[in-house]
Amino acid sequence: MSLTSRKHYLQSIFYFLKDALHIEKIEIYFSLIVFSYVLISDFISKINFSKNYTLISLIQIILLLVENYLTICIYSGIKKLVKKEEFKVRDILNDGGYFFGRILLYKIFVAFSAGILISIAFGIIDILKSTPLFITTLIFTLTLLWLSIPFYFILLTFFSPLIIICKDANFSNSVKMSYYFIRENLKEIAGITLIIGVFWFFCIFFLKVYNNFIGIKILFFYLVSLLEILTIKTFMFFYFEREGKNGRNV
């Protein structure tokens, strides 16, 4: 990459970050909603249910469904904010129900696909326990290389929830559109992810280190919640800008 192209690349990345880091009042409200959910989830996770696995499973399912609904509402609100659309709370609550099934289907698809690949990896590790070290290393390396291909394709679908909400696309079309969009903009997406990832790393790191200090833990819970909003907003900006630049649906 030449010096000029590298400069243009960095300028384009910081352009999206600059817009995303401009926090508006409504985003504080969104972050407080996420923050409340995180606190409630953390509180529930510490309750001793005396190994009542049926109750634990039921609570986990309920939390998953609530998280799915809240995620859609947040995505919808940020989309309207980025597009400078006027909206009422009722609008994003309605979107939470409207897109609920498609977003949940995508999450199940990713969890199921990743689960199969991880099961294959652990299955091979278990089989190789009694084989010589050289053979184990060779086969394990080849397995990782083989598994990296389907994992790469799964990563290329990560814009599907955003596309479902922004374009009102069905599940299969959103996966296909995400695949082409990320592949065409992989360099910029990787750069934005790397920069945002630094902030995520520090938040999670300090959250783990100061986990026993309630005040600091709550503070970082909120910072993580706000960072989630800013992350979504950044990629929303990026998606709409590239969509407009291409002059077509991506």
C-alpha span between 217 and 61 (Å, rounded): 25
Tens digits of per-residue pLDDT, 29-44? 999 999 999 888 888 8
Quick one: CA torsion of 233, 66, 31, 171, rounded to 10 degrees? 0
Residue 73: predicted pLDDT: 95
Residue 139: predicted pLDDT: 79
Low-confidence ranges of the chain (pLDDT < 70): 1-20, 245-250
Q: What are phi and psi of 57, to 5 degrees?
A: -65, -40
Residue 148: predicted pLDDT: 86
Residue 250: predicted pLDDT: 43
Residue 217: predicted pLDDT: 84
Tens digits of per-residue pLDDT, 217-231? 888 889 999 999 989
Tell me which residue of 142, 199, 162, 181 sits closest to 76, measured CA to CA: 162
Tens digits of per-residue pLDDT, 4-18? 555 555 666 666 666
> What is the distance of C-alpha 29 from the center of its chain?
20
Tell me which residue of 219, 221, 241, 223 sits closest to 231, measured CA to CA: 223
Q: Structural domain boundaries of the chain?
A: 3-246
Paired tokens of 45: 């996770």
